[in-house]
């Protein structure tokens, strides 16, 4: 089951440059939350703070409190343990090119020392079903490399890979920006189903996509969160002038 996320007074830096300013947000469990805003506004930086990917960049640093369920992200939890509970899907599909489709999905478990063949089979089967890829790859699980799939299939493979470690939260950083409309449609459908079991935070450049998949939407501008509310309200009756300008296409 998904868990909620609480963020209090989050500031993020790249060296001396501040990228996020005092972000406060409560993300509801088992819902999809979309983050929108123009390029460079800090959306990606923000979700990379939720699973501590931000700190893998040299000289990057974070201040503030983040809780994923009852887990304190920046206080006494190791980054590797945290990331097993918070899955991530990236902007560009990034399957492991030298691994088979099966090994890609099983990678998270295998590399963390899980070896039970039968259970691995089950997890791979289940994850590929959840990501709606099973029927397309079931005959070539061990024969084909993850990199041999099409872009849309690769992204669903990456989603399956993230699901295989059984996370509670799924972070998606513009998961459809490299995909065609049909693949995008498939991923959006998938997000709808995944919400039942996971809490989803999705960064998107596509406002229609936010409106389609998310119950809640946050609007970022220049490293600050301008407005966070129900998606419907953000798109029909935002309380901040800047949000209105952005969603009506006056800038960005």
Partner 1 sequence: MPPVSLRRRVMDHAMTGAAVLTVLLVLLPLFAIFAYLVYKGIGSINIAFLTQTPKPVGEPGGGMANAIVGSMVILGIASLLGVPLGIGAGIFLSEYGRNRYGDIVRFVSDVLNGVPSIVIGIVAYGLVVMRQKHFSALAGGVALAIMMIPTIARTTEQMLLLVPQAIREAAYGLGVSRWRTTLSITLRTATSGVITGVMLAFARVAGETAPLLFTAFGNQFWNWKSDQPTAALSLQIFTYAISPFDEWHRQAWAGALVLIILIVGAVAAVRIAVRHGTLSGA
Sites of contact with partner 1 (CB under 8 A): 51, 53, 56, 58, 79-85, 87-88, 90, 92, 94-100, 107-108, 111-112, 143-145, 147-148, 158, 161-162, 165
Q: Concatenated DSSP letters for 65-103?
A: EEEETTEETTSS--HHHHHHHEEEE-SS----TTSBHHH
DSSP state of 237: S
DSSP state of 123: H
3-state secondary structure of 239: coil
* Shorter beta-carbon distance to partner 1: residue 108 or 218: 108
* Shorter beta-carbon distance to partner 1: residue 25 or 105: 105
Size of the chain, expressed as the number of residues it contains: 252
Given the structure tokens 């492991």, which residue do they identify?
A: 96
3-state secondary structure of 155: helix
* Shorter beta-carbon distance to partner 1: residue 93 or 218: 93
* Shorter beta-carbon distance to partner 1: residue 53 or 202: 53
Count of other CB atoms within 10 angstroms of residue 209: 21
* Shorter beta-carbon distance to partner 1: residue 56 or 75: 56
Helix (H) or strand (E) holding 20: strand 17-27
* Shorter beta-carbon distance to partner 1: residue 53 or 124: 53
* Residue 98 Cβ vs partner 1, minimum distance, rounded to whole Å: 5
* Shorter beta-carbon distance to partner 1: residue 28 or 79: 79
The Cα–Cα gap between 36 and 162 comes to 23
Decide if 203 contacts 38 (C-beta within 8 A): no
Among residues 128, 122, 195, 190, the alpha carbon closest in space to that of 163 is found at: 128
Decide if 231 contacts 210 (C-beta within 8 A): yes
* Residue 56 Cβ vs partner 1, minimum distance, rounded to whole Å: 6
3-state secondary structure of 177: coil
Q: Please, what is the end-to-end C-alpha distance for the chain in angstroms? A: 36
């Amino acid at each position: 089951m998904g868990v909620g996320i609480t963020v209090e007074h989050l500031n993020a830096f790249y060296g001396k440059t501040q990228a996020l300013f005092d972000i406060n947000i409560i993300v509801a469990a088992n819902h999809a939350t979309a983050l929108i805003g123009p390029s460079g506004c800090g959306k990606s930086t923000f979700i990379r703070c939720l699973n501590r990917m931000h700190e893998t960049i040299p000289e990057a640093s974070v201040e503030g409190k983040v809780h994923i369920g009852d887990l304190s992200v920046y206080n006494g939890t190791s980054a590797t343990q945290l990331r097993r509970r918070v899955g991530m899907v990236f902007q560009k599909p990034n399957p492991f090119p030298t691994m088979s489709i099966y090994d890609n999905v099983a990678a998270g478990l295998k590399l963390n020392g899980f070896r039970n063949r039968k259970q691995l089979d089950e997890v791979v089967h289940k994850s590929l079903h959840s990501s709606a890829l099973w029927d397309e790859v079931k005959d070539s699980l061990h024969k084909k490399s993850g990199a041999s799939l099409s872009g849309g299939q690769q992204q669903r493979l990456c989603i399956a890979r993230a699901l295989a470690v059984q996370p509670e939260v799924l972070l998606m950083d513009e998961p459809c920006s490299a995909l065609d409309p049909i693949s995008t449609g498939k991923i959006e459908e998938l997000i709808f189903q995944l919400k039942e079991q996971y809490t989803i935070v999705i960064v998107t450049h596509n406002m229609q996509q936010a409106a389609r998949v998310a119950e809640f939407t946050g609007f970022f501008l220049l490293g600050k969160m301008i407005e966070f509310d129900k998606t419907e309200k953000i798109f029909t009756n935002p309380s901040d002038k800047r949000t209105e300008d952005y969603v009506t296409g006056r800038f960005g």
